[in-house]
Structure 1
């Protein structure tokens, strides 16, 4: 007897069609540099940095880009990308750019093809992170999903489509939250180790790492020690690059409106941002959402440390809402006012910290509509 398979639901078919359409549309419309807006350059720079890391080691972290990546690519689009700045990204994050960079450099892929495949990869990762985020938020009702659809998804899709690999640490972190909700804390610990090894903005997930370690220890000391050891090795790779960067971060101007240096100069944005963070922290803590409250503080810390700013830098501000969704079972969801607090933090905090006309979540689309797409 022939085996029958269940037909996909209409919703599944629609989502599949939408994802395929986004990926196909991006492949057709992306600029020769690979990004959708024909403006930003991070992925091109990271492709060259990955080659420099493999060939020249940690010298990459001690030299400005123009010196560290000199002579690695014949393609001019990898040249002149803030040549006076060092590379403040952990090795694992850079190495994700190595395969396509190596294929372009060896002549197996035309430059425009390699660039487009690079951003297509990050768009796919952004879509995957969006999907996991919505799965996490869905049991908590319309307020959780509304914020996810209006803030989380566009930020992830826009970041990925323009070559910002921040979507990778968001994918790992959101996967860890789903593992915690599914009572698999050892898996969460390893995923959070990967998250930390990918990007410095993954610091926002530090409270979730403590939560996962405590949950793993209660579930079984053996597995907790094993997963903690794996995560520890991954975190050490990021710590080693941070140590190598010591003294070179001043090559990146402190242009972020809420960078800590502006706090010391008496400007208004940093204290306003801090007061907002402390207010939301206190509100969530009062309602006993400890891990979401702590994540507000680490998100604020990331923003205060971030020397530059762009719409993709906003992603740490949406993490508290994801933690809020994971912290309690769906049978006891947060009240609507708690979702207003979490999404309000993401929205108002972004306006203070990034000063974009529509908020950073949709700024990439504004750039595209203004005609930057070739």
Structure 2
């Protein structure tokens, strides 16, 4: 993997760059649709490629390990061939899923023992076998196995969790050095900065992660319930420490305005389930603000969400029709809303990149955020 930093905005730390992987190039800043089990909910790979114009998608180690399982993925020749997506893929290590299984897992030095949410069977994830699993999945970018502490966390717990994450990282790096990619293309490891919302811990973690010399770095443990202001503060602190010449990935964030704010702090990569999850519930993100398409006010609005959009779901269907689909319980409504939201997120980061390249991002951003937050 290679990262080229093209330029930085005049009035902020926003960056435009390009990541090159074995499965293609990614222009940053970038939003990555979440395809937890190898599919982005309600959206086909063709729609992701042509309508959404996604450049990279995510898979999840925990979910893919449980279903379809490593034997199937190996026989298929990896996730790219299994799901028909021939562009870059990133896999989350499963650390966040382990965090979400608080009542069904036990964390120890060796790793994490957990119960499957599918059938209750018991499994062990260690830094070593999580690397092996991601080798079998075959993603271009793979994540280190970490512990994601809850919010709020006591300082003592957050420190202990961070130290464990660092020790696990060293084991991940060692294991990768002992193994080879399964399908002949390079796989790049991103370590994850932790430390909850404690400045000294975030600083210590960012410094440790930076010292490991990885090709890219991630910021975890945010967007787990903390106030937005804390997220921005932690993100700014970490970005000021992580290497300038490496891509920075903020995990699990967030709203359109969260993304713009964090771009201004120096983040290059984002993912979140929000565009599809909110879309399935009738919330549409637009350039003019947020629409609850289920509201009666849209029942006789025969204009499209955005007549100028390149996305068919945004341009070719009226608000009245999409509202009708939701009212009738038609699956097509959820599909169109999901495609629209994903396409909007990709249009948003594309426009942010354009503004960075023009040197106007810092003046454009506050006006844009005010519009994005409007409730229509």
Instruction: Identify the TM-score tier after normalising by the shorter chain.
Output: under 0.3
**TM-score normalised by the chain length of structure 2:** 0.25
**TM-score normalised by the chain length of structure 1:** 0.25
Structure (1 or 2) with the greater strand fraction: 2
Structure (1 or 2) with the greater helix fraction: 1
